[in-house]
Structure 1
Amino acid sequence: MYANDGFRELDRQECLDLLATVPVGRIVYTRQALPAVLPVDFRRDRDGAVLVRTSASSELVSAIDGAVVAFEADEVDAVTHSGWSVVVMGAATLVTDPAEHARLLRTGPRSWAPAPQEVFVRIDPELVTGRELVGGRTLYGVHLPS
């Protein structure tokens, strides 16, 4: 990071805390040997893992179960040119433990597009990075009012 680029690096805990404030992110995975990005609703679990609830028959489940994926969430204010972005990278696994599945039915993310059979996918946060755009909107070095 350059000292004057307007961004502040976020530490791991700040990143995980910010993930709890937004309902939608994007999974980056490989589909037919090419990168693919899919918006999903999610929830951050108590251990920092990202949880996605989706249809058991979705192409996403078969593509990411057991694979290393990236997950990105952000919040942007276009008026003030401020915001943040967090990226989580780690292994994605299907939740198969019955007790864990039952807990997630009660506390996990709610699907925006319910399906007859839904599953939970957990992304373990092996690498977590983020940055925040600080300083707001400026024009030629002069801060503009919001």
Structure 2
Amino acid sequence: MPSPRPVGRRTAQPAARKRSPTAAPPSGQGAQRLPGAGADQPPGAAAAARDTALETLTEQECRSLLSTHGVGRVSVATDRGPVIVPVNYLVFGEALAYRTTPAGVLALAEGEQIAFETDHIDDVWRQGWSVNVTGRARAVSRAEARALDDRAYALPLAGGNRRHWVVVVPDRVTGRRVHAG
């Protein structure tokens, strides 16, 4: 039977050794920039790769990518100008749905044309994609709200009482991918 550890005492752990971003890789191939070095930098801080290609995505590819993510940005027009707000979203049939507060700026967009965007950027490999959706925002029925509550896999990004669902029915879905050429 193992002996019990004293309460309140921690055993010493060896200090983690931090590697230099230009240190020689374990294979001994010489100093080079390691993939993942600078991962703590803000997104978009890396320089573009020299030989990249910009590809227009089909609507089917865009819809497929939309279903792989859960955070995007909604842009709405207000009396004070455009506002862009990050939201958790889910794909709801052919539409997108997000939660907000009943009196929030995103709820006031009901009946209005809005824009939505989600993306994935990989600074290490210098590639990524972006999908944009434009469409009309609408309120949901109680039955739809219950179905959305059951399907939601994340709490709203901003927290709080965000139980008011808004659905965006797309009239246009476009996207682009940047990758090595």
What residue is the counterpart of 1:20 in the other structure? 67
- Partner SS for 1:112: coil
Q: d(CA) in 2 for partners of 1:24 and 1:83? A: 15
Change (3 A) 1:7 1:100: same
Q: Deviations over 1:39-83 (max 9, x none)?
A: 111111232x11101122323211x11100010000000122100
What residue is the counterpart of 1:144 in the other structure? none
List aligned pairs for 1:10-49, cutoff 5 A: 10-47=57-94, 49=95
What residue is the counterpart of 2:142 in the other structure? 98
- Partner SS for 2:180: coil
Instruction: Identify which of structures 1 and 2 has the higher relative contact order when contacts are C-alpha pairs closer than 8 Å and 6+ apart.
Output: 1
Q: d(CA) in 2 for partners of 1:61 and 1:25? A: 16
Q: d(CA) in 1 for partners of 2:82 and 2:102? A: 22
What residue is the counterpart of 2:13 in the other structure? none
Normalised by the size of structure 2, how large is the TM-score? 0.66
**Residue type matched to 2:99 in 1?**
R
Q: Unaligned regions of 5+ residues in structure 2, if any?
A: 1-50
Higher percent of residues as strand: 1
Q: Judge conservation of contact 1:51–1:108 (CA < 8 Å) in 2.
A: no
Identity rate of aligned residues, in percent? 33
Change (3 A) 1:29 1:66: same
Q: Unaligned regions of 5+ residues in structure 1, if any?
A: 137-146
What residue is the counterpart of 2:152 in the other structure? 108
Change (3 A) 1:23 1:37: same
Structure 1 residue ranges, 4+ long, deviating more than 4 angstroms after superposition: none
Do residues 133 (structure 1) and 178 (structure 2) align? Answer: yes
Higher percent of residues as helix: 1
What residue is the counterpart of 2:122 in the other structure? 77
- How far is 1:5 from its partner? 6.8
Q: Judge conservation of contact 1:41–1:109 (CA < 8 Å) in 2.
A: no
Q: Judge conservation of contact 1:25–1:73 (CA < 8 Å) in 2.
A: yes
Change (3 A) 1:116 1:79: closer
Q: d(CA) in 2 for partners of 1:117 and 1:35? A: 21
Q: Which protein has the larger Cα radius of gyration, Structure 1 or Structure 2?
A: 2
- Partner SS for 1:37: strand
Change (3 A) 1:74 1:117: closer
- Partner SS for 1:124: strand
What residue is the counterpart of 1:61 in the other structure? 107
- Partner SS for 2:61: helix
